Amino acid sequence: MVERSDRAPLLDWEEVPSAEKPGGAAPVAAHTKDRLSSPSNSRAGWSSSPGGPSRSVSDGCSAPPATSSIPAGKDEALLPDSEQHLSDLTSREVSLEDRMVKWEEKDQIVSVFVVTFNTRSGNMLEWCLPKDMDLEGVEFKAIASGSHRVTTDFIYFRKGCYFGLACFANMAVESTVERGARMKSVGILSPSYTLLYRYMSFLEHQVRLQLQSPGHYSPLEAFYEDKRALLPPSGDGVVTACPANAWGAAINHSMHPEMKITHPAGCMSQFIRFFGEQIMVLWKLALLRRRILIFSPPPVGVVCYRVYCCCCLANISIPGIGVAVPEFRPFFYVNVADISALENELSYVACTTEKIFEEKKDLYDVYVDNQNVKTYRDGLKPLLRLSTADREKYRKLTEQRQMLLYSQEENGDCVSSEEDLFILFFLEQNNRIFQTLSEVAGSPDPTLTQESVRAMGLDPHGDRLFLLHLLEIYGYDTLLVSEQLCCS
C-alpha cells in the first residue's frame, strides 16, 4: 500500500485552493469535512475542555460553511420578487460563508519570525513581522534546549494567548565565528493551532533558505501579508472575524477535539505503539484533569504530538459535562521561562527537554519520562496500576486498530483513519461513564453498585479510587457508593 506523506510540498505559500476559483467547491468541501474534527468547546484560541464552556470566536470556525440549495445557473431565471425573497433568506449565509473562508484559509497568522543562535549571545530574535509584536521569550521556544544535537526539528508552543509552530534546522558551515554550525528557526503565531500544520512545509523550506541565504526575508514578508489575521482595534488578541455563535449547533455535534496539528494522522499510531497499555493510565489522569508534563530530549516535534494525543484522551461530547472542571490546556513545548505561567495552571499537558523540571514537583502532578509514568502524589500512585478493565479496553482498542489496518490494506479504505478510531474509542468510553453517572444520579436510589460501575466499563475493584476521584472532580459527590464497592 502506498502511503501519503504528511508533509506534501507546497507551491509558494498557497497550500489551500481558493474557494473563488472554478471547480474549487470540492476542495473546500474536503477541507471543511477535515475541519469537522474540531472541539465542541473552546475559548480564545485554547483547546476545548470537554463538556466545558461554549465555543469562542477564535476557534469557532471549524464547522462547514452554509450552502445554498439553489442549483447553479438558475439564478438568472429568478423573478425580481423571488430573487429578493431568496436574498432575504440566504444573504446572511452567503456573507457568513465568505467570512468563514477568509477566516479559515487566510486570516490566521498574527506574526512570522526568524530566530537564530548566536555564539556570543545565545538564542536571538533576528527578524519579525509585525515589528511591534511582543515576542519576548519566543527565541527560547522556537529553538528548544538541546536542539544543537539534531539537524532538523519542529516545535509547537504557546506564547501568551497565541499558539506557535516553528521549524528548526542546523547546518554545518566553515566559519570559526559560528563555531562550525549555523542554527535558525522560522516560526509563526496564530490564535489557534488547528491549522498550523498547513504551513509546516513552507516553514521547513524557509528555514533552509535562511541557513543558505541569511537575511532574505521577502518570501516571509509576502506570506505574512497574505495570511495575517484581522485583530480587533482593542488589540486583546481575540479574533472577531467569525461570529461566536455562527456554527454552535453543528459544532456541538462534532465528536473530535480541535487538535488537528498533523495531516494526515500518523501520531496516533506512534502514540499507541510507544506507550502500549500505559495509554490507559494516561487516559485516567487526563480525564481527572491532572497536570501532565512529558520529558524527552530533542527532537521535540514527536513529543508535541504526544501532548496532542493526551488531550484527545479526555474528550467528552455530552452537553453540560465538565463545565465546572478546569480546562485541559495543551501548552506543548515549555522551558524554564514558562515556570511562572505553569504555577498558575490547574490542569494542563506539556512537554519539555529540560531535565530540571523533574525537580519542580509543585509544577506537575504526573511526570512522563519516555514510557515511564510517575507521580510524587500519594493519592495518585494507585492510579498508575492497570486494572483488569484497563487491559480489556486496551485489548479491544488493539483489535479495532488491527481490523482498520487490515481494511485499509485489503480494501483500500482511505476514509477511516487511526486518528478517528483513537478519538472515537476514548470519546465513547468517556461518554459511557458520564451517561451512566447521570442516570444513576437521576434515579430514585442514587447509589453506585458493582453493576453500574461495570456498565461504565470500569473495574469495581481496581478502578475504585479512580471512580472516587472522578465523582469529586466532576461534581457527582452527592452519589452514594455501595458498601460492597467501597470495601472492595
Residue 53, φ and ψ in degrees, nearest 5: -65, 165
CA distances from 75 to 82, 86, 98 (A): 10, 10, 19
Q: What pLDDT, on a 0 to 100 scale, did the predictor assign at position 365?
A: 97
Q: For residues 289 and 305, what is the distance between their CA atoms, to the nearest angstrom? A: 18
Beta strands in 222-364 (DSSP E): 291-295, 329-333, 348-352
**Grid cell in block for residue 317:** 461530547
> Which residue from 462, 453, 456, 460 is spatially nearest to 384, judged by alpha carbons?
462
Within 10 A of 190 (CB to CB), how many other CB atoms are there?
Answer: 23
**Grid cell in block for residue 158:** 504557546
Q: Which residue is listed with cell 558551515?
A: 173
Q: Which amino acid is it at 240? A: T
Q: What is the mean pLDDT of the segment spanning 39-53? A: 33
Per-residue pLDDT of 299-308, as tens digits, reads: 999 999 999 8
Q: What pLDDT, on a 0 to 100 scale, did the predictor assign at position 155?
A: 96
The H or E element containing residue 480 is strand 480-481
Residue 154, SS3 per DSSP: strand
Q: For residues 229 and 190, what is the distance between their CA atoms, to the nearest angstrom? A: 8
386 in Cβ contact with 277 (< 8 Å): yes
**Grid cell in block for residue 350:** 506539556
44 in Cβ contact with 240 (< 8 Å): no
Is pLDDT at 30 greater than 70 in this prediction? no
Q: For residues 126 and 115, what is the distance between their CA atoms, to the nearest angstrom? A: 5
Q: For residues 459 and 123, what is the distance between their CA atoms, to the nearest angstrom? A: 50
Q: What pLDDT, on a 0 to 100 scale, did the predictor assign at position 435?
A: 95
**Grid cell in block for residue 376:** 510524587
Q: What is the mean pLDDT of the segment spanning 263-269? A: 60
Q: What pLDDT, on a 0 to 100 scale, did the predictor assign at position 485?
A: 61
* Bridge partners (DSSP) listed for residue 167: 154, 186
For residues 205 and 2, which has the higher predicted lDDT (pLDDT)? Answer: 205
Is pLDDT at 408 greater than 50 in this prediction? yes
Q: What pLDDT, on a 0 to 100 scale, did the predictor assign at position 421?
A: 87
Q: What is the mean pLDDT of the segment spanning 147-169? A: 94
Residue 138 burial by CB count (10 A; 0-12/13-18/19+): exposed, middle or buried?
buried
Is pLDDT at 42 greater than 80 in this prediction? no
476 in Cβ contact with 470 (< 8 Å): yes
Q: What percent of the chain has pLDDT over 70?
A: 68
Residue 381, SS3 per DSSP: helix
Q: What pLDDT, on a 0 to 100 scale, did the predictor assign at position 221?
A: 96
Is pLDDT at 68 greater than 70 in this prediction? no
Q: What pLDDT, on a 0 to 100 scale, did the predictor assign at position 264?
A: 38
46 in Cβ contact with 331 (< 8 Å): no
Per-residue pLDDT of 274-307, as tens digits, reads: 999 999 999 999 999 999 999 999 999 999 999 9
- State if pTM tops 0.85: no
Contacts of 80 (CB under 8 A, 6+ apart): none
Q: How far is Cα of residue 377 from the mean position of the Cα atoms in its chain?
A: 27
Q: How far is Cα of residue 465 from the mean position of the Cα atoms in its chain?
A: 29
pLDDT bin (cut points 50, 70, 90) of residue 413 is low
Is pLDDT at 404 greater than 60 in this prediction? yes
126 in Cβ contact with 207 (< 8 Å): no
> Which residue from 290, 311, 318, 322 is spatially nearest to 432, judged by alpha carbons?
318
For residues 395 and 257, which has the higher predicted lDDT (pLDDT)? Answer: 395
Residue 38, SS3 per DSSP: coil
For the chain, give the mean pLDDT: 75
DSSP letters, 310-378, are HHHTT---STTTTTTSPP-EEEEE--GGGHHHHHT-SSEEEEES-GGGGG-GGG-SEEEETTEEE-S-T
* Bridge partners (DSSP) listed for residue 154: 167
Is pLDDT at 60 greater than 60 in this prediction? no
Within 10 A of 258 (CB to CB), how many other CB atoms are there?
Answer: 27
DSSP letter at 262 equals S
Residue 329 burial by CB count (10 A; 0-12/13-18/19+): exposed, middle or buried?
buried
Q: What pLDDT, on a 0 to 100 scale, did the predictor assign at position 359?
A: 95
Is pLDDT at 328 greater than 90 in this prediction? no
Residue 25, SS3 per DSSP: helix
Per-residue pLDDT of 440-486, as tens digits, reads: 999 999 999 999 999 999 999 999 999 999 999 999 877 887 766 65
Per-residue pLDDT of 88-126, as tens digits, reads: 444 444 444 444 444 444 448 999 999 999 888 889 999
| Phi-psi sector, 11: left (phi>0), alpha (psi -120 to 50), beta | beta
For residues 166 and 312, which has the higher predicted lDDT (pLDDT)? Answer: 166
